[in-house]
Amino acid sequence: MSSTNLGLALVTPASRGLGFAFARQLLSHTDLPVLATARRNSGEVRDRLLDGVNDRSGRAEKRLRVFELDVTDETTIHAMATRIRDEYPKAALRIAITVPGVLHVEKSPTQIDAANALHSFQVNALGPMLLMKHLVPLLPTKSSTPFAEDASSSSASWTLPSHAIYVMMAARVGSISDNASGGWYSYRASKASVFQLAKTFDLYLRTRSRDRAIAVAMHPGTVQSDFTKDYWDGREMLQPEESAARLLQHLCAMGTDDGDGRGRCWDWKGKEVLP
């Protein structure tokens, strides 16, 4: 596949829910090659992503690439990163969105199960850490060639930034200062780590990439998806497409200065979620 100085978009995983919506939004509103992942059935996921996509360029089928990846298996992450370098040798990641998540509910400490808690940390904390490890070589450095403008964007909210954005999906329940109800021990603890990972990674990028790349964490709101199906009980829910669109619009408007919010966590309304 040919490289492009537009840069690349990556969403992992993108087989359903919020990740699926992010990939569809990027196919619909940018000209970027979109790299998506699924644990299995990558061909089926690709077909579903392309089905009915609003693609103004008419090139979505050529722009979409789906890799099989499991964040609990580092060999699959390494394999994907290697194939991206081989297939797009001169391109850098411009938007990378990592959204792995699993929820094992514990309402009291007595309900904590060691295997389930370990799984929570493998997916919610170690998974994003390993993705960061293997994807950082694909981000631009301070001496990289600047990205080209994306001519497909017709509104200011969808104009891509000139720098790369690396996103880790956090959750408001991972905020210690916002914890007023308790419960969900392994999920809260594992998601709290994402706040720290985003901050630490952004500090690294300040040296490696300077203003060419930033890292942030994001909270998508309570999204109506398979992930939250046990908690739909009449509460106000966001559709995945709405959450993904709002988050992407906020990301595309984010600058690289400290005051612009790099290294911090932001929700779908553009408001900061404190650790």
The three-state DSSP-derived secondary structure of 255-267 is: CCCHHHCCCCEEE
> Which of 257, 96, 240, 68 is closest to 168 using CA atoms?
96
Output the CA–CA distances (angstroms, integers) from residue 48 to 21, 23, 61, 145, in the order listed: 11, 11, 11, 34
- Edge-to-edge order in the sheet of strand 64-68: 64-68, 34-38, 8-12, 93-98, 164-169, 213-219, 265-267
Pairing of strands 265-267, 213-219: parallel
The residues, any chain, with a CB within 8 Å of residue 181's CB and separated by 6 or more, are none
Match 């994907």 to its residue by tokens: 80
pLDDT value of position 54: 77
- Chunked into runs of 10 residues, the chain (275 residues) has average pLDDT values of 75 96 94 96 95 79 96 98 96 97 96 98 98 98 90 60 96 95 96 98 98 97 66 67 93 92 95 95
End-to-end CA distance of the chain: 41
Q: Which domains does the chain have, with CATH numbers?
A: 8-267 (3.40.50.720)
- What are the start-end ranges of the E strands in the chain? 8-12, 34-38, 64-68, 93-98, 164-169, 213-219, 265-267
pLDDT value of position 85: 97
Q: Do residues 35 and 121 make contact, with C-beta atoms less than 8 angstroms apart?
A: no
The residues pairing with 93 across neighbouring beta strands, listed in sequence order, are 8
pLDDT value of position 271: 94
Q: Give the 3-state secondary structure of residue 41.
A: coil
pLDDT value of position 225: 58
pLDDT value of position 86: 96
Q: What are phi and psi of 167, to 5 degrees?
A: -115, 130
Burial 93-123 (b: 16+ CB within 10 A, else e): bbbbbbbbbbbbebeeeeeeeeebbebbbbb
CA distance 248 to 195: 19
201: alpha, beta or left? (left if phi > 0; alpha if psi -120 to 50): alpha
Digit-coded pLDDT (tens) for 17-74: 999 999 999 999 999 999 999 999 999 999 999 998 877 667 899 999 999 999 999 9
CA-CA-CA-CA torsion for 185, 245, 216, 144, nearest 10 degrees? 150
199: alpha, beta or left? (left if phi > 0; alpha if psi -120 to 50): alpha
pLDDT value of position 158: 72
